[in-house]
Structure formats: structure tokens, C-alpha cells
Structure 1
Amino acid sequence: MNSVKSPNIKAVFFDIDGTLISLKTKVIPESTQNAIKNLREKGIKVIVATGRSINDLNHIKHIEFDGFLTFNGGYCMTIDGQVMFKQTIHPEDIKNLINHSEKSSVSFSLMYEDKVRISHESPQVLELYTHVNIPVPPLYDKETLDIENVLQVNVFIEPENEVSFMKQVMPNSLSSRWTSLFADVNPGGISKQKGVEYFCEHFNIDVTETMAFGDGGNDISMLKFVEIGVAMGNAGDNVKEIADFVTEEVDNHGVEAALIHFGLLD
């Protein structure tokens, strides 16, 4: 792969599942780990950009990053623990979700700053937590349920039902997805793009000096916004279509290959 002259990139944002972590092996390829280390040695900020909770990052804790964009931009934190931004879902949407779930077969996960609770252990819920290699969370207790501080919801609905569900049940929120299994639901106006904006402001970096990697629908806003948006080879077609560059799959050293292509690695 021939390299091209790169803009003056000062920050690179990385999705986790399917980008840093292989969905097949559940680990980060050694080539990717070395690439991240080399970027930071060059003074380039490396920031996680994920739909995961801030407390579901154990799989990447052995790697040094400069910040964490979590809950799809709803919770942004620097490496030293400074919370730059936090936005919860409108409580009325959570009420509607619970009422809807009690009348239907829809299951969901409620994600907080310090915990996750699930509606019930449906096959779809169990598949999700196996998929991302995280223990299945406890069931929520309706008597003590906190509806004020939910940062993100995973709703297990089919893609074809997503638009009508959001309009009827959670109208104050925004949905996106990286799998057909479920939709990520975040506060209206929240996206990975917004998270990138917060980090650019924090580090005094212009968006023309940014690059991002992703593979799912929840990465689209980020990949379109940064100067160089890279879709992994394992990404969906909707992600590849909007990307500036499509690299190899995560298991075929896609991160390293793209960084070499753009001249960020030797």
C-alpha cells in the first residue's frame, strides 16, 4: 500500500469493538497496540471513541490513551479523570421505555456512570454481553430505579422498527447502531461527533487536524466530521460509503495499514 502525504494530524479517535478489538478473537492485535504507542510517542493524542460505558473499558486498560469519549459522546473524560462533558437521557423517555417494555417483548439495558441494569435476560441481551465479552449485568429493581441519571440505553429492536419505536417511545432521544441486534439510544443531540468537538476544544486542536477509525453506524457522524475518516474493512457498507478511506479488517492489521498509508507511521 503506497503512503500519501498526511495533513498535520494531532489527534486520532478510535472506536473499540470491531476497530481496536477484534470481534472474532476479542483482543487488540499487537500491530494496533504498537501503532497507538508510536502515535503517542510522536505527540499525537489518541482518544477512545465508543458506545461502551466508561466502566466497560477493562479490555483496553493495558494501553495508554489521552482521553475517553464514551456513551457515544454522552460522557467524555480526560486520562486524569476530569469529566469534560456528561449528558443524561430525558427521564420521560426512560419512563416510556419501561412502560412499553412491560407491555411488549422489548428488552433493554440502562447504562449509568457507575453501573448497568437490564430489563431481563432475554436471548438478545445474553448475546450482546457475550459478543462484547462483558459479564451480564443485574436486573433493574423497579422500586429503586433511577430514571434521572441514565446516560445510554441499549434497546433490542429490529432495524426496521427503529424509527417508529423512537418516535413513539423515546422522542427526546437519538438512536444509532453498530449491529442489527440492538440500537444505542442517547440524549438528543449527542453523538461521537459532539465528543470529538469537546476533545478538540480541550486540547486546542482544530478538526482539520483530526483522524478517526470506526466500523459501525454510531461511528458515521464522527467519520464524516474529522479530516480523515477511516472505515475498517469489516465495517458496514453504510460506513464505508461515507469514509475518506477504507482499510483492512481489524484482524488483518487495518489500523496499522491506514496509519502507514497516511504517513503517520513509518
Structure 2
Amino acid sequence: MIRLLATDVDGTLIHSDHVTISARTREAFLAASEAGIVVTAVSGRQPYSIAALVRGTALEGPAIGSNGSVAMHLSTGELFFEEILDVDAQRTLVEAMRARFPGVRAVSVRDGGNTYLAEHGYSGPQDPGAQSAAWEVVHRFADLDEVLAAGSVKLVLKHDDVEPRALLAAARELAVPGCHPTISGAPFLEVAREGVTKASGLASVCTHLGIDASEVMVFGDNVNDVEMLRWAGVGVAMGNATPEALAAADRVTLTNDADGVAQVIEGLLGDAAHGTPRA
């Protein structure tokens, strides 16, 4: 029996315009919630961005942001937890990455995801979700010493001429203690505290709710979803998923633009109505 549905956002819940949640998908999550299933979003985005996207849907309750580093109730703003990347660890990683890729620039995401401190010279949006904010947030530039002076819920590293996968390969090879690097489809590397992933964040929430991993179904499409897809009782990869996500999943559905999440939820609820809940 599935008691909790958790969905990634970009490439999974929303269409490729990075904005649209279809009426079909909204209705599917509402039906699941009305059936007594807990529904939640788990994203690399920050809570303020998730909240703006899911406003008016059944997903406006607890959500997990920053790849598992932050959990917050989107309607009340209550912060459940935040996991902080240590100052020494992030500084060591940045110095090592800059030695390999001169021109790497850093962004520190802080304060439950509400503050972005970007290094001077950083180009492009500090957060792809910044255009949609449910409440006021801070985005400003500073010298690198200030950017790295406090711990981060997420550290972003970007190089204008180096692909995120190359940055990820280098960060994994460096294996700096205290750091967990990943990518999400955004044009940069994302780093959390060691041991912090979407799976760890979701596990914490499920422990609080008394829900076992076997009772969880998750949806994802990218590298930062792999741990979550493996951890859950049922991991569902999107038809547009990366090879890593496809390999980690138990099932594959349609693409995000074809409402693959809604298709699976509709099947789950249909089976439950006939007395054969899908595992």
C-alpha cells in the first residue's frame, strides 16, 4: 500500500517550460490526497520557488528543497530542518575546483534557501526558479571570502565553458570530505553536506510521519533523483529521464510533457479502488 507520493519538480512534475503543472496532474494529486495519501514535492529548487509553482494544488503542504537540505511547510513557512554544508568543506572544494577549472564561480544558498550570495563574476541566474518566488528572497553579489564565510544549504559552482557533468566528475574524483556533489539539469554543479540527498530528506519526513520506505512512491528524472529512486518502495523514472535515473528506477512512465506522473497516480488509485493497490 502506498501512503506517500513524492515528486521531483523540473523534468517531472512540471512541463518543459519549467512553469506548467497540467490540469490532469493537479487533479491526480488532489485525488491522491483525498484518498488519504500524503503528497509532497522534493526538489533541487528552494521552498520559495516550489511554493510559487504548486500554489493552489494539493502539494502546498510540507516540501523538501535544495536536494534534501531543507524541509518546510509551504503554506505556513514552518521550517522543519535544514542541513548545512560546513565552511571548511565548501572552501576546500571550491579551492580544488578552481585549481582544475580557473573561472569557476560560487554561490552560497543560505537561510532555509531564502538568501543567495553569489561571487562577483558569476553569470546567469543564481537560481533558475528565481523568477517565481512565493515570498521575498535576497539575491546579492559579494567577494568569494564572504560567499564562503558561512555554511550553505546548497553550494552552487558554475563555469561558463565547462559542462555540469564535467564539474560533477571532477568533484567526485576530488571526494572532498563533508561534500556531496550532484547535478539536476540546471547549468551548474550543486553541493550539499555529505550524506544529504533527496532520499535522506524524504526519509526524515517519513520517519516523522511513521511511514516506511516501502510505502513510498517517488518520481524523478535526473542525477539528483537517483538516491531517492533507489530508496523508495517504488521508484518511477520519467520517459525523459537521464540514464542514471532510468537505471535506478523500478518503473518508467511517460515524459513530463505527456503527464507521466498523472498517468501513474491514476493507475495507482484505480487499482486501489478495485482492491488491488499497486506496489
TM-score after normalising by structure 2: 0.80
**Which residue number corresponds to residue 109 of structure 1?**
107
Mapping for residues 169-248 of structure 1, pairs under 5 Å: 170-179=176-185, 181-248=187-254
State the 1:249 CA deviation. 1.0
Q: Which moved more, 1:66-75 or 1:9-18?
A: 66-75
Q: Which moved more, 1:131-140 or 1:61-70?
A: 131-140
SS of residue paired to 1:139: strand
**Which residue number corresponds to residue 35 of structure 1?**
28
Instruction: Tell me: CA distance 1:134–1:109, structure 2 relative to 1, closer, same or farther (3 Å).
Output: farther
SS of residue paired to 1:223: helix
Q: Does 1:62 align with 2:56?
A: yes
TM-score after normalising by structure 1: 0.84
**Which residue number corresponds to residue 77 of structure 1?**
72
Q: Deviations over 1:10-66 (max 9, x none)?
A: 111111111112223621111111111111111110111111122222222332333
Query: What is the rounded CA distance, in whole Å, between the counterparts of 1:228 and 1:102 in structure 2?
Result: 39
**Which residue number corresponds to residue 3 of structure 1?**
none
Query: What is the rounded CA distance, in whole Å, between the counterparts of 1:108 and 1:62 in structure 2?
Result: 34
1:110 counterpart letter in structure 2: S
8 Å CA contact 2:168–2:183 kept in 1: the answer is no
2:131 counterpart letter in structure 1: I
**Which residue number corresponds to residue 13 of structure 2?**
20
State the 1:97 CA deviation. 5.0
8 Å CA contact 2:214–2:233 kept in 1: the answer is yes
State the 1:188 CA deviation. 0.2
8 Å CA contact 2:85–2:154 kept in 1: the answer is yes
The gaps in structure 2 that reach 5 residues or longer are 133-137, 274-279
State the 1:140 CA deviation. 2.7
| Match among 57, 81, 92 for residue 96 of structure 1 | 92
Query: What is the rounded CA distance, in whole Å, between the counterparts of 2:122 and 2:148 in structure 1?
Result: 22
Ranked by relative contact order (alpha carbons within 8 Å, sequence separation 6 or more), the top structure is: 1
Q: CA RMSD in A?
A: 2.7
Instruction: Tell me: CA distance 1:50–1:61, structure 2 relative to 1, closer, same or farther (3 Å).
Output: same
SS of residue paired to 2:12: coil
Instruction: Tell me: CA distance 1:161–1:61, structure 2 relative to 1, closer, same or farther (3 Å).
Output: same
8 Å CA contact 1:23–1:132 kept in 2: the answer is no
Q: Which moved more, 1:138-147 or 1:57-66?
A: 138-147
The gaps in structure 1 that reach 5 residues or longer are 1-7
**Which residue number corresponds to residue 50 of structure 1?**
43
Q: Deviations over 1:158-182 (max 9, x none)?
A: 3234343355484320111122732
**Which residue number corresponds to residue 151 of structure 1?**
153
Instruction: Tell me: CA distance 1:98–1:16, structure 2 relative to 1, closer, same or farther (3 Å).
Output: same
**Which residue number corresponds to residue 260 of structure 2?**
254
| Match among 131, 136, 141 for residue 134 of structure 1 | 131
Instruction: Tell me: CA distance 1:48–1:188, structure 2 relative to 1, closer, same or farther (3 Å).
Output: same
8 Å CA contact 1:84–1:198 kept in 2: the answer is no
SS of residue paired to 2:56: coil
1:32 counterpart letter in structure 2: T
Instruction: Tell me: CA distance 1:144–1:217, structure 2 relative to 1, closer, same or farther (3 Å).
Output: closer
Runs of 4+ in 1 over 6 A off after TM superposition: none
SS of residue paired to 2:20: coil
**Which residue number corresponds to residue 135 of structure 2?**
none
Query: What is the rounded CA distance, in whole Å, between the counterparts of 1:64 and 1:261 in structure 2?
Result: 18
- Kindly tell me the number of residue pairs found equivalent between the two proteins: 256
SS of residue paired to 2:90: helix
